[in-house]
Amino acid sequence: MLLNISSPPISHRNNNPHFLSTLNHLPPRSKTHLSKSHLSPNLSPFPTQTLRNRPSSFRHNRFFPHGQEERLGLTPRALPGGIDLGSFESVLEATAVLTAIIVVHESGHFLAATLQGIHVSKFAIGFGPILAKFDFKNVEYSLRAFPLGGFVGFPDNDPDSEIATDDKNLLKNRPVLDRSIVVSAGIIANVVFAYVIIFVQVLSVGLPVQEAFPGVLVPEVKTFSAASRDGLLSGDVILSVDGAELSKTGPDAVSKVVDIVKRSPESDVLFRIARGNRDLVVRVRPDKNFDGTGKIGVQLSPNVRITKVRPRNVGETFRFVGKEFMGLSSNVVDGLKQTFFNFSQTASKVAGPVAIIAVGAEVARSNADGLYQFAALLNINLAVINLLPLPALDGGTLALILLEAVRGGRKLPVEVEQGIMSSGIMLVIFLGLFLIVKDTLSLDFIQEML
C-alpha cells in the first residue's frame, strides 16, 4: 500500500494539535500477486512468496509516497531529520493498527472466497517463520514472525494438494465474476473499515475543528540537541526564520522552517519566537546531519487550536462521517497524483513500513485520538493504491481478469501472465528492501550513532 504523504493545505477539520511535521516525508504500500497459492498479502514492503504457475494470489505491500500525513496533520516530522519511534507503548499501538488493517483486508479476500465455496488453504498474519498455527476445516491459520503483512493461500497450483486440478471450486477454475469478487473484496473491506472507523470517531470523540494562528508550534525539543543547547523551548511558537515571516500556519510554514534549517548546517539561524506574552529572538546553530544537512532536534506542527465537535442527531452524524470520509479520500487521491506527476521531487519522500510505524507511534504519543484518522487513512490508501492496474496490485489482477473477459474467456498464456506478475514482485522486493534500509537509517537513535 502506497501511503501518500504529500503537502496540500491542511484541511480545516483534519488536524490534531500535536501532529508533528518531520523533516523526512514518511509515509504505506502495494500489493503483490503470487501464484502458487497465496492471495493478498498486505501491508508489507516485500513479498515473501515466489511466483509459480498461474497467479492465484494477491499480496499487499505498503509504501508511503510523499504527502498524506502533512495534510492531515498525521505525519510526525522530526526537524532533526530523523524518524522518532516514540515510546514502546506507542509503537505497539501503531503496530496494532497496521495488524488490524491486515486482518480486515485478508478477511475480505477470505470471506469472499469461502462464501462462494472456493477452496482456501491458508490464512496468515505476518510473513516469515510461523510462530503459532492451527488447522480448522482444512485451512491453516498462522501467526508469523514479521507482522507487517499477511496472505490468503489457495491450493490451485499446490503440488501437494489432493484436490483435482479440474475441481470447479479452485479459484482459477471459477468464472470471471467469482474471481473478480475475491480479488476486489480486500479493497472493499478496507473502504468499509475506514468508514466504520470514522463513524466510531464521530460518535466517541467527535471531529477536530481547528482554528489557525500565525507561526509554527514547537511541541517538543530533544535533550542535548542544538535547539535545546541554544535556548528553544517546548511550547515556543516560531514567527519568523532568518527574516522569513511565517504569517500563515500549515504544512508550507513547517516546510519553510525545515528547508532553512536543512540548508544551514553549522551556520547561525535566527528564530523570532513567541514565548508566553514575550517576543524573543533566539540564535540557533544547526548541527550537521549524517547526510550533510542541518538539524536542530525539534518537532514542529502547524500552530492551531483544536476543538472537538459532536453531532447533535443521526442526520448530522452521517453528514460528519461522509464529509470526513470524502475529505480523507480526496487527500489520498491528491497525494497519489502528486507522487506520480512530480515523481522526481517526491521519490525521496517515499517511505516503507518502518516509517509507517514511526508515524503511527508519534501520532499515538502526541494525541491518541489521531489514531482514528491514521487508521482510516491507511485503509483508504491501501484501497486506492490496490485499484491501480499495475502488476503486484489487486488492480493488476483485475486488469488481467478483464482482459480474459474481453478475449472471450481465453486466459493469457501462463508464461506471459507469470512474467507480468514476476516483474511486479521483483520491483516490490527491491523497493521494499531499499525503503526498510532507508527508513531504518533515518531513525533518531540510529542517526545519533552515525
pLDDT at 30: 31
Taking the model in full, what pTM does it have? 0.67
Query: Does the structure show a pLDDT above 60 at 233?
Result: yes
C-alpha cell at 153: 493461500
Amino acid symbol at 126? G
C-alpha cell at 278: 514575550
- Whether 122 and 151 have beta carbons less than 8 Å apart is answered as yes
Query: Does the structure show a pLDDT above 50 at 89?
Result: yes
Higher pLDDT, 343 or 365: 365
* Size of the chain, expressed as the number of residues it contains: 450
Tell me what the pLDDT averaged over the chain comes to: 76
Which of 21-25, 93-97, 150-154, 210-214 has the lowest average pLDDT? 21-25
Query: Does the structure show a pLDDT above 50 at 32?
Result: no
Taking residues 318-341, report their average pLDDT.
Answer: 87
Helices 370-386 and 88-114 cross at an angle (nearest 10°) of: 40
- Whether 136 and 110 have beta carbons less than 8 Å apart is answered as no
- Whether 121 and 111 have beta carbons less than 8 Å apart is answered as no
Residue 38 CA to its chain's centroid (Å): 22
Query: Does the structure show a pLDDT above 80 at 332?
Result: yes
pLDDT at 362: 78
User: What percent of the chain stands above pLDDT 90?
Assistant: 32
pLDDT at 61: 36
Q: Single out the residue of 132, 22, 5, 16 nearest to residue 68, CA to CA.
A: 5
pLDDT at 445: 58
pLDDT tens profile 377-428:
989 988 988 888 888 788 888 988 898 888 888 888 877 877 887 777 677 6
Query: Does the structure show a pLDDT above 60 at 45?
Result: no
pLDDT at 84: 54
Residues with active-site annotation: 106
What CA–CA distance (Å, rounded) separates 7 from 17?
17
Domains, the chain, ordered by start: 29-206+330-338+348-449 (no CATH), 211-309 (2.30.42.10)
